[in-house]
Structure 1
Amino acid sequence: MEALAVRLSGLDPYVDGVIRVVAFYDTLMRRRVDLPALARASAGLAECVAGIQLHGTGRAIRVSPDGRHASTPPTPPSTTAPITLDEEEIGTVWLERPGPPNQLDEALLDRLAIAAAAIAERYGPARTTMADPALVELAISTDSDEASRARALRLLGFAADLPVHVIAVRSQLPLDQIGSLVCPTRPVKAAPLADVGVVLATTIDQTRFPAGVRAGIGAAASPDQSWQQARTALRFTTPRQPLIPYDDLGALALLAEIPQDAARDNADVAAIARIADNPEDLQTLDAYCATGSLRQAADLLHLHHSSIARRLEHLAKSLGIDLTAPTGLTRTRLALTTWRLLNDSGQNRG
């Protein structure tokens, strides 16, 4: 391999140098090297530190020109390039060259990125987050038998002994971006199914969900059961509470099991429906139900507490419920939640 490591500084003219770089990486790929070997060869060829990082692992490989792990602290890359697979960015390659980039650095990184993508795909499941929707559906469907489900999970890259959470998502953000954020270092796959996005992950960092995402999180049970839980939890999300793990619902999850006709016929739910066309009333009621406090509701809505008091007095008359009584507040919370579940038509109204 050393014989192939033509020094970039001696290549002239430029076209001859590019051809030699291409031939260098073609030879590496025929030898089926792994990522550390690819980084070592690249660092030797470039005569500076070369780095490779896959988003799915989070681990950076940095190698010095002498072929050893770079022990010096990382410096700002002089040149970078994305690693792409199936039109998704799955990682980054870079050079840490002191001074300005070499004229062949761009060509070198282009070939390094292509080689890294091929290696990531060859060794184990593809490191892309997006998956075949049919395969994801097979893994989470209640109609799948256990053998088919296990095979689907294996093809998706999940080990048999790893628990899998299913997340039901509604968002304008790309699913692969959400999946990579909430599960940055462990296996994660995503796919769109009908009106909702599906993310399968072995671990979930709830603090990393970006703003604007509605998500219901199923427990780490059988994927089909976790999917049903995630869909249920998603129905309970609101702008004020956009992320809900199913386990946090407790007995509230039973509300999702009430037949729609029975829910609509309930007097309290019908009363909520009558005021729902007034956004101001609905926001006031939501804030009060969320806090149980007139003053805290006023703080949430950035209004004076006397204004909230007047609104609640009007709402109490409209609903026919004493909002100051504990039982009245409980009734209103349950009615408001049930009304939201009835009106969940794919967009989770406020």
Structure 2
Amino acid sequence: MQELLGRLRALDPTASQSLRVIACFDELMAGRVGTEGLLSAAAALAGRIVGLRRTPNAVAVRFDPKGNRLPPGLPSADALKTGGLVIWIERGAEMPGANDAIILERLALALQLHYDDGRPPAPRDLATLFDDTAELTARRDAATRRGLAAGARLRVLAAPLFALWQTHPAGPEDVIATDFGPVHAAIVPADSEVAASPLGIGIAVERDDLGLSFRTALVALRLADSSPDGISRAEDLGGLVETLAERPMTPRMDADEAAVSRLASLPWALSTLDAIVRATSVRDAARTVGVHHSTMTARIDTITEEFGFSPLDGWGRMRAAMALLRWRVRTSRVFELPAPASGALPVS
């Protein structure tokens, strides 16, 4: 799929986005995601409200791009009518988006297959499982319905709706609304091998703590755009990931995070700061980013001046690491559908 995307991006930039839309609905259909999940996914992909009316006298179902269910409304004038279904994207006076047609087409196909399947949809239990405010008995009942045994080690996967999956997750899945928009979430055995991009992999827990695994998966996902392969594992951060997961993102940056934001305007700063907090010495950090030791020393002086403390010593290194992680989580663009590439290169 990645190779095909690369070739399509070179030949026809819009086609690569369309392929991501197709892949999204294929994954959701494979996971037996129900009507509400499919509609919220379509709304997120379109960036606009999406609606469905199953019969002429039925009440319309509408979802916004954040996965929230809205009051009923009337179909748009250009609604797609197929197989007895009426589905639409609400753009008002705007021109249709480049992917509107393929989103409606794949949504219609997914809904028709869902209704023709004859099997009841998989229960929408994942939101309950991830909600620590829900009664423990309700969460355990939901876990039992989804085949999650007590004592089993599990972890949550979180991916944008347009993520590309090399292997389909072997476990319950659904589209879950979050503060950052809807995500494709799945629960898998802790030792499962998974491959998708971008992808956040939560910490391993038992079923009573799936909410924590979900929150750490979201943190990991928002760090995935700085990972070379697009896969970010919460456990790589140790205890830091739980601190990030349990600390709400405030509108205002603290002083350390603001320093990272200022440093980000320097082309070398983020890679250098990342190397500093990971390396065991200045020489190792210089080797990581491919610069001379003296150049690294000069860069550290600039970083130290901006922070007001040395990122090399004791708590200073921890403060710098946390500030860098918080800034990356805040500024992550992992939920943005990659724009069509311009200046396409020839395909060999």
Q: Structure 1-normalised TM-score?
A: 0.49
Higher relative contact order (CA 8 A, sep 6+): 2
Answer with 1 or 2: which has the greater Rg: 1
